[in-house]
Structure formats: C-alpha cells, structure tokens
Amino acid sequence: MSNIKELRDLPIEQLEVLIEDLNKDIFNLKSQLALQKKIEKPHLIKEKRRDRARAIMILSEKRSVDEKK
C-alpha cells in the first residue's frame, strides 16, 4: 500500500479515514475466511494489518507532536 514517507505527508484526518478503511477491509477479509474457509489472497490480511499498524503509529506521532506545540 503506502510507504512511511507517504503516510507522514497525510494530514491527521486522512490518516483516521485510512485506518477506518483498513479496519473495514480486515473485517471483510476475516469474514470471508470464516464463512468460506478459504480466500483467494490470504496474504492480504497480514498486509492490511501491517498497513493499519503503520498508520496508527504515524497518527500517534503526529498527535504527540501537536500536543507539544
């Protein structure tokens, strides 16, 4: 998806929206896995979870910088 540099350039509002979208994607992929017992691209779950973690990390960094100002 995105690398760290691209995520750091995003404003806080867009990061929050991105995290929500990733949460929905992860939920949908896990639902497919539970219902069908098999999905076409199982690696996407791991990939999306890592992307979400990156976005959360960048968001917390940005919020801590804003608090210090």
Rounded distance, CA 25 to CA 19, Å?
Answer: 10
pLDDT value for 14: 96
Task: Count CB atoms within 10 A of the CB of residue 62.
Answer: 16
Tens digits of per-residue pLDDT, 3-17? 889 999 999 999 999
Rounded distance, CA 51 to CA 29, Å?
Answer: 15
Q: What is the CATH number of domain 4-68?
A: 1.10.287
Rounded distance, CA 35 to CA 1, Å?
Answer: 26
Rounded distance, CA 59 to CA 67, Å?
Answer: 12
Tens digits of per-residue pLDDT, 24-68? 999 999 999 999 988 889 999 999 999 999 999 999 999 998 877
Taking the model in full, what pTM does it have?
0.86
